[in-house]
Structure 1
């Protein structure tokens, strides 16, 4: 190989490695970031008291409260609001307050509404199950899947097959040991199953049915864990035996934005089509809004990507570009 070609190949390898490592950092950041947000608004939730509406954030680890700001209203309204939530605090008395010598920030102790709980309360009236029971297997194994993808990306960053196989063997063994140790040896799967059954019975407590769900959760999670370890073995052997297989090390993680939307939409379908008959109001099965604005009874629903989803999209673009460059290298014989 000519020196000029060698320099060009080395430069391409650095670019591929750089794009892959950037994608890895973006993927890690996305895992800990809110990926999608959903909000409900209605006349009984005025904007001055609920500036965010009833808002929640979805991520790869579960669902979180999206109401991060205190209600923009008077102290009397704030404290009344907090009392309704069960907060133990002194009732505001405007006469006694006026007699105080020192002025205080009347909103300093205000707390945001727990919108996950509030949305669950709203939804249960139409027979919808608590949001917390959604994607239970995904929430348990997502960190190991991200670890799996992370090892794949580290392997892809290696231009030589021997180095790639070594990195992947060590990485896959570490992820498998982490998964087995945490889920089964330390009993995290059993603990989560108990938590899950408690959440499932928050509004519609059917012990026998919920026990079946808990048992299914443990069985499916175990199956996914075994499948993930099998996938590690298949990927390692594929990279070892098939030259072009290594391109999948970056291409599969690049599909993460699509995987998320498919899983998210699937669980929305589950919630909208598995309404419990014990709900106070009867509505026909429906598909909640995946993207955009929708309408359910007097509620307007909003569902949009959040900044965590932007991270996975940027990650995907980096990996697709890195895949094309590596494919070019393999055609030219400058990468294995």
Structure 2
């Protein structure tokens, strides 16, 4: 087999494995589970969903109101009515610090983590803060993205499988989609930050002018200090992007060498 073709298949396989283990698998396993929990149907939550959630939440942030013995145990978190986030790896992390949130009570400020399929962290507290300044709750934004996310990633995974299995110029361009994931995420994330910051409501207790929240780095909104940085999931989609580009150029070289 052509060496360039072997490299292309190797890089694409690595990208597929990372995509599957980091995002697709936990998204499939946890799909619809939060709706079951919110509807009081905890008995309908499968043991597979619980196992995957417990595995992927090892060492992840839990709300300060979560009992210690419930950490990393979905069943106990449901029983204690703790705040439950999704299972997939977080892509971006935002936190707020303010005088009325002392370090003793909130050592990491008010952190919220953004995922392909939802949120985790102090989501309820963050929505309370948003309401205070006249901002919509976070779930208002990205509804379509969250709904189609799991299907988009499944289609993406299938596209990479086709890339690995077949050699054609057309299928070669499929891997440019996972290669663009970091840019697509940042563009979508930035758009919704702008939308939230420029669609403030009059019912906010604290009036502020429309603003653009900080996309990357540290900022200040009213009396809040904000921090916005990539989480582990973003670094992984960057790796997926680089592997996809390597696979693309290796396949291009192989196709030229084979005159396909």
TM-score, structure 2 as length reference? 0.72
2:19 is aligned to 27
Q: CA deviation at 1:320?
A: 0.4
2:178 is aligned to 253
Task: Measure, in 2, the Cα distance between the counterparts of 1:279 and 1:23.
Answer: 44
Aligned pair partner of 2:210 in 285, 288, 299: 285
Q: How does 1:267-306 map to 2 (within 5 A)?
A: 267-306=192-231
CA contact (8 A) 1:29 1:311 kept: no
- CA displacement 1:126-174 (0-9 Å, x = unmatched): 110001221000000011111111111011112445xxxxxxxxxxxxx
Structure 1 residue ranges without an equivalent (≥5): 1-6, 66-114, 162-243
Select the structure of larger CA radius of gyration. Answer: 1
Q: How does 1:137-156 map to 2 (within 5 A)?
A: 137-156=144-163
CA contact (8 A) 1:292 1:303 kept: yes
Aligned pair partner of 1:40 in 74, 96, 111: 96
Q: How does 1:213-224 map to 2 (within 5 A)?
A: none
1:68 is aligned to none
| Secondary structure of the structure 2 residue equivalent to 1:37 | strand
Aligned residues: 196
Residues 1:129 and 2:132 are matched in the alignment = no
CA contact (8 A) 1:30 1:309 kept: no
CA RMSD of aligned residues (A): 1.4
Higher percent of residues as helix: 1
CA contact (8 A) 2:19 2:240 kept: yes
Task: Measure, in 2, the Cα distance between the counterparts of 1:304 and 1:28.
Answer: 23
Aligned pair partner of 1:15 in 7, 16, 25: 7
* Runs of 4+ that moved beyond 3 A: none
Aligned pair partner of 1:317 in 227, 242, 248: 242
Question: Aligned in 2, Cα 1:264/1:29: closer, same or farther, shift over 3 Å?
Answer: farther
Task: Measure, in 2, the Cα distance between the counterparts of 1:332 and 1:21.
Answer: 22
1:64 is aligned to 120
- CA displacement 1:245-302 (0-9 Å, x = unmatched): 2221111221011111111111111110111111112211001110000001111000
